[in-house]
Amino acid sequence: MSTSDLAPHNQVTVLQDGYSYEDSGNESHMRANCTSTLIRCRDGTNVIVDTMTAWDGEHLKTLLQGQGLEPKDIHVVVCTHGHSDHIGCNYLFQTARMHLVGACASNRDLYLDHFGSGDEAEELALDSNKEVLVRRTPGHTLSCVSVIVTNSQLGGTVGITGDLFERQEDIDDDSIWRNAGSEDAKRQVEERSKMAEVCDFIVPGHGPMFPVNATVRSKLKIQIK
Ligand SMILES: [Zn+2]
């Protein structure tokens, strides 16, 4: 592919907004499904981030059809972490060159050495332009990763963070992300602030995409103590 064939921007499309709330029939149960996101990199690489529950296969195929895509058109699957509502439909994407579940990369029975360097700051580019990067963002689980998309059509950098952020409201009410479970809350507070510093938009694990501004960045910085 020549440079002139490249699209001008990496296209980020939220296929479905995630949610999480107490079940109305039993307050000790939760209803939750993840936010699922498509990235059409400008070099032609198609990435899906978080694939919902195993019961969502037909629904996810329909969402992709709405973007003119079939499962075989997806080149890379990224699950921000290994919880069941983020990995359930990975089986749809059997022609993808890589499934990344948290920091664990595989294809069929072959396990790849990405994120094996021991360097916490290791980044993995998913596209040839190195504009779509995966990095570790531990907290919700110790293996969590986020995808950072620069040069997006939204006019800024987009962080697809999984449950590092549960939803926008958890910036003012930290009980939301803490109650969703955190294997290392101290790290999570730090990673949330680091992510906000480099992003103009965040796609959280269980809510719609939201913008990041100076107020959000300073609130998250103050929460590091
Ligand atoms: Zn989740």
Q: What angle do CA 218, 49, 87 make, to 5 degrees?
A: 115
Rounded Cα–Cα distance for residues 26 and 99 (Å): 35
CA–centroid distance, 146 to ligand 1, in Å, is: 13
> Average per-residue pLDDT in the chain?
95
Answer for the pair 210, 201: CB distance below 8 angstroms, yes or no: yes
Rounded Cα–Cα distance for residues 10 and 125 (Å): 13
**Please, what is the end-to-end C-alpha distance for the chain in angstroms?**
49
Rounded Cα–Cα distance for residues 28 and 81 (Å): 23
CATH code 3.40.50.300 for 3-222: no
* DSSP tag of 55: T
Q: What is the pLDDT of residue 5?
A: 60
User: Is the confidence at residue 70, as pLDDT, over 70?
Assistant: yes
pLDDT confidence bin for 118, thresholds 50/70/90: confident
Average pLDDT for residues 47-73, to the nearest whole number? 98
Over residues 188-215, the pLDDT tens digits come to 999 999 999 999 999 999 999 999 999 9
Domain ranges of the chain: 3-222
CA–centroid distance, 3 to ligand 1, in Å, is: 38
CA–centroid distance, 215 to ligand 1, in Å, is: 26
CA–centroid distance, 118 to ligand 1, in Å, is: 26
CA–centroid distance, 204 to ligand 1, in Å, is: 9
CA–centroid distance, 33 to ligand 1, in Å, is: 7
Q: What is the pLDDT of residue 6?
A: 72
pLDDT confidence bin for 27, thresholds 50/70/90: confident
CA–centroid distance, 4 to ligand 1, in Å, is: 39
User: Is the confidence at residue 1, as pLDDT, over 60?
Assistant: no
Which residue's entry shows tokens 């449950």?
Answer: 163
CA–centroid distance, 43 to ligand 1, in Å, is: 29
CA–centroid distance, 83 to ligand 1, in Å, is: 6
- C-alpha distance from residue 102 to each of 14, 29, 62, 159, 211 (Å): 19, 25, 25, 15, 24
CA–centroid distance, 74 to ligand 1, in Å, is: 22
Q: What is the pLDDT of residue 138?
A: 97
